[in-house]
Amino acid sequence: MNPLQARELVIDIPGRSSGQPLNFTVGPGEIWGVLGPNGVGKTTLLHTLAGLRPPRSGSVHLGGHSLVEWKRRQVSQQLGLVFQDRQDGFPATVLETALIGRHPWLSPWQMESAEDVGKARAALEALDVGQLRDRLVNTLSGGERQRVAIATVLTQSPDTWLLDEPTNHLDLHHQVAVLGLLRARARKGCSVFMCLHDLNLAARWCDHILLLFPGGEACWGESRQMLVPGALERLYGQKLRTAEIDGAPVFVPAGNSDPQSS
Amino acid sequence: MPGYSRALAVLAALSLVCMALSVSVGSASLSVGDTFAVLTGTGTPIQQTLVLELRLPRTLTGFATGGLLAVAGALMQVLLRNPLADPYVLGLSGGAAVGALLAMMAGVAGAVVSGSAFAGALLATFLVFGLAHGTGSWTPSRLLLTGVVVAAGWGALIALILAMSPARQLPGMLYWLMGDLSPAANPVPGLILLTLVCLLVFPLGRSLNVLARGPMQAAALGVSVRPLEWTIYILASLLTATAVTMAGSVGFVGLVVPHMLRLVLGNDQRLILPACAMAGGSLLVLADTLARVVIAPEQLPVGVITALLGVPTFLYLLYRSR
Amino acid sequence: MSSVVIPGTATAREATVRLADVSLVTVVALLLLLAGRAEAVCVEDDQHRTVCVDGPARRLVSLSPGATELLFSAGAGGQVTAVSAWSDYPPQAANLPRVGDSNRLDLEAIVTLEPDLVVAWVDGNSATQLGKIEALGIPVFWLQPRTFTDIASAVERLALLTGHEDIGAARAADFLAAMAELRNRYRDVPPVRVFYQVWHQPLMTINDDELIGRAIRLCGGDNVFGHLPRLVPRLSTEAVLEANPDAIITGGEDREDRRWLDQWQRFPELKAVAVDNLFLVSPSLIQRPTLRMLEGSEQLCQVLEQARARL
């Protein structure tokens, strides 16, 4: 397994000054959460790590070699990306959509085999959308489409998962199911790197956190060390109240109307 | 995947039937027996000329043209991710038309008109390529807009040529613009190109499917998006230029056939593209047969029939699929 | 004004009858003129409208090459102030100012010339545009000669309108007499099956009602597509092969242009190609409905004689 590594990485957002260079490695079995306010560049970071956008400076490495040294096909066998926005392409069924996840594994002359179809169907079942497999994707609800997108990457079964707000549109039950699935993948040796807007999900499910501050600073490390109220309040510009449930911290915005102000 | 062979076999059979019909039907009545006799080497000299030198080349040209246009239309729709795209949307037929009409106005002979049309089509391709490419950030909508504007420009030139030509040249020009198979074109280059493209579809097909889901998604799955898009563009342009050179700007086939097939066969380009080749070819051959027969011994330009056939068929299929 | 041409002596009789009609009108008009009053001259045009001019028209504008020739034939050449494009016959017309072409007329130029009469062509000019001319008080005389009698009548009526009755009547009579003589000469010859090619792409021909078709008939030819309903049908090559004419005649695209005929060489099984009955005729003589149709018909008849000999 080739771990994903950022070396002195500065992402490129046109019109914005460079942020702090990022240096981290997403090791096997690790689940990373990226936290930061809207517009700070979480999606751009994800796309840069996936090789879809060039960085402003620094580099992204897979297993010690820079991304640009790898063939595209090999990269997509190791890196999978769940996008935040659904791009509306041509209409296709749910099964067809999941099946494109097998593209990096098939040579141009190969047709999808029954085994490939089986993998796609299994992935759809795992995301609880198996029964929708012959439906057209654009007739699905937001949550269903999100799960199809995740199933596509599951079909792709890369070693490293990059996810952009995977719990958007999902109800509580499916949020837990998806994160549980990701934890199961991590236990098998995959790495997970996801952007989350929900602080508490990150606190509960991620073992490493990357904080992207509005000014361009960043810090990263184990969750224990990153999830301190001071840093988080600075991150979101919002006073927080902390509690602990089942051994994991829970953060709640402190409102002015809170009768129990201390 | 198993359904693919069946669908393609059905379309292949349809193609053969349509071609057989086209060769045996015309303003001169020839029985099936006579046609068969000619094809096996016997028959009167006039019958032989009729079938081998007039109808067979015309049928083959019609098949090649229809196939090329349908495949080009399907490719354009993937490239622009727009189901309303047709092969002419980027101004290709306009450039070819200007080339052809200028040649006609100058009073030159048939081969020069075809060559001029091809040159015009290539010029249109490079023009749009250059304009859309030069500005850095390239998206399908930018290509589409550039193409539409350039097409309008060609349209203006065509109107100018029509306005300035002597009246006796107008019927010829109008027939070219509507799409006409009667100028005896050579079907061989078109057929070869069509076959090559259908073979090329297999290695490219799945990438096209992935590309059709969205460029970012495709890039994330390992598709080299930009090179693939330019390949599709050049290919579609070459197909359209060849088709237009053979038969003028026949409308509707490139828009309606890919649509119809997608409604019935799904979205796998590896099936759709060869299916388009055969269905488009069959449609055009059928339309041309009608064009030759409906007011025999007079004949209509084939483009008129494709429009009249294409619209209700498409509406019917849309209605059925709801 | 058009009448169905019946081959044989009936036409000569009919021609004589038409001659009588018009001569009567001429006489009446002359009497009226002699009566000393400057009466308006009123004549019926080919749209069945009565067109009147005050006294003979002195300033004329012709809007088609055919109309130009007919005006000159009527003796009114000196009164033509402007013509449409392509008016190249007679040579004097080539020097006259142009006012546009078919439905791209320069209305301002026409109006500025202050014509007494505008002569228009039904199959060429736009009725809407000429409606404007008429609204400005300028009379428009529409022509649409469909038979040889129509051509003669057109010459006579134009002569009436322009004060050259005698010339017009004489020329019309000569034309009809010569055509009748031509018809008599070729009345009993064996027919030659003819395909007349008007254009190559689309492939166009004419039917029996068209003037060229009538000329073919007069010369003892049988137009293989004469029976078709349209005046100028668009055919497929196949139809020509099936009809297998004895002779193929065309005016070509340009003067002395045998390209279209050479293209028929691709089909050596065609009778016309086998006996080399591929003929070029002078287009301006035969494709214009003017008095030169006489020469055109004579040329056509000679061509058919050659064809007949080779069969």
- Put simply, the answer to whether B221 touches A93 (Cβ < 8 Å) is no
* DSSP code of residue B174: H
**Physical contact, C and A (3 or more Cβ pairs within 8 A):** no
Asked if residue C302 has pLDDT above 80, the reply is yes
Q: Is residue C282 part of a domain?
A: yes
Same domain, C172 and C242: no
ipTM: 0.87
Question: Got the DSSP string for B95-145?
Answer: HHHHHHHHHHHTT--HHHHHHHHHHHHHHHHHHHHHHHHTTS---HHHHHH
Strands A218-222 and A240-245: unpaired
Chains in touch with A (≥3 Cβ pairs < 8 A): B
Is residue C306 located within the same domain as residue C236? Answer: yes
pLDDT in tens, C85-130: 888 889 999 899 999 887 788 888 899 999 999 999 998 888 888 8
Note whether C195 and C144 are same-domain residues. Answer: no
Q: What CATH number corresponds to the domain at position B45?
A: 1.10.3470.10
If you average pLDDT over residues B69-82, what whole number do you get?
A: 91
Q: Please tell me which chains touch B, using 3 or more CB pairs under 8 Å as the contact test.
A: A, C
In eight-state DSSP terms, residue B50 is I
Same domain membership, residue C132 and residue C105: yes
By the CB < 8 Å criterion, does C72 face chain B? Answer: no
The count of structural domains within chain C is 2
d(CA C293, CA C304): 16
Whether residue B204 lies within 8 A of chain A, CB to CB, comes out as: yes
Q: Are residues C141 and C224 in the same domain?
A: no
Examine residue C17 and state whether it is found in any structural domain, yes or no.
Answer: no
- Same domain for C169 and C194? no
Q: Are B322 and B264 in contact (CB under 8 A)?
A: no
- Mutation for A interface: B200, B206, B208, B268, most A CBs within 10 A: B206
| Distance (Å) from the alpha carbon of C165 to chain B's nearest alpha carbon | 34
CB atoms within 10 A of CB A193: 26
Q: Are residues C173 and C205 in the same domain?
A: no
Please tell me whether residues C224 and C171 are part of one structural domain.
no
Q: pLDDT-derived band of residue C3, with 50, 70 and 90 as boundaries? A: very low
Chain A residues within 8 A of B1 when measuring between CB atoms: 111-112
Q: Are residues C151 and C255 in the same domain?
A: no
- Check residue B321 and give its pLDDT: 64
Using the Cβ of C228 and the Cβ atoms of chain B, whether some distance falls under 8 Å is answered with: yes
pLDDT tens digits in sequence order for chain A, 262 residues long: 889 999 999 999 988 888 899 999 999 999 999 999 988 999 999 999 999 999 999 999 998 899 999 998 999 999 999 998 777 667 888 999 999 999 999 988 888 899 999 999 999 999 999 999 889 888 899 899 999 999 999 999 999 999 999 998 899 999 999 999 999 999 999 999 999 988 899 999 999 999 999 888 999 999 988 888 888 888 888 888 898 888 888 989 887 654 554 4
Distance from CA of B50 to the nearest CA of A (A): 43
Evaluate whether residue C144 is within a structural domain: yes
Question: What are the pLDDT digits (tens) for B104-113?
Answer: 998 887 778 8
* B74 interface with A at CB cutoff 8 Å: no
Q: Which of C177, C199, C222 is the last residue of a domain?
A: C177
Tell whether C1 is covered by a domain: no
- What value, to the nearest 5°, has the Cα angle with vertex A16 and ends A11 and A19? 45
Does any domain span residue C295?
yes
C3: in domain: no
Q: Which pLDDT tens digit goes with each residue over B230-265?
A: 899 889 999 999 999 999 889 889 988 998 898 888
Structure-token pair, residue C46: 């080919």
Query: Which of C143, C177, C211 delimits the end of a domain?
Result: C177
Q: What is the pLDDT of residue B82?
A: 82
Q: Position of tokens 């937001």?
A: A142
C25 found inside a domain: no
Does B216 lie at the interface with A, CB-CB under 8 angstroms?
yes
Which chain A positions have a beta carbon within 8 Å of B202's beta carbon? Answer: 108-109
Structural domains of chain B, count: 1
Q: What is the CATH number of the domain that holds C194?
A: 3.40.50.1980
What average pLDDT is seen over chain B? 87
- Yes or no, beta carbons of B216 and A87 under 8 Å apart: yes
C197 and C90 in a single domain? The answer is: no
Closest residue in B to A156 (Cα) is B221
In a domain, C14, yes or no: no
Partners of residue B227 in chain A, C-beta under 8 Å: none
Residues 247-266 of B with CB under 8 A from A: 266
How far B213 CA sits from the closest chain A CA (Å)? 4
Q: Contacts of residue C104 in chain B, CB cutoff 8 Å?
A: 163
Query: Is the Cβ–Cβ distance between C307 and C246 less than 8 Å?
Result: yes
Domain that includes residue B285, residue range: 2-320
pTM: predicted TM-score of the whole model, two decimal places: 0.83
**Cα dihedral across residues C172, C173, C176, C179: positive or negative:** negative
Domain limits for position C143: 41-177
For residues C64 and C94, membership in a common domain is answered with: yes
Considering the domain architecture, whether residues C151 and C218 belong to the same structural domain is answered as no
Q: What share of chain B is helix, strand, coil (3-state, %, to 5)?
A: 80, 0, 20
Contact C201 B26 (CB under 8 A): no
Q: Is any Cβ of chain A less than 8 angstroms from the Cβ of B217?
A: yes
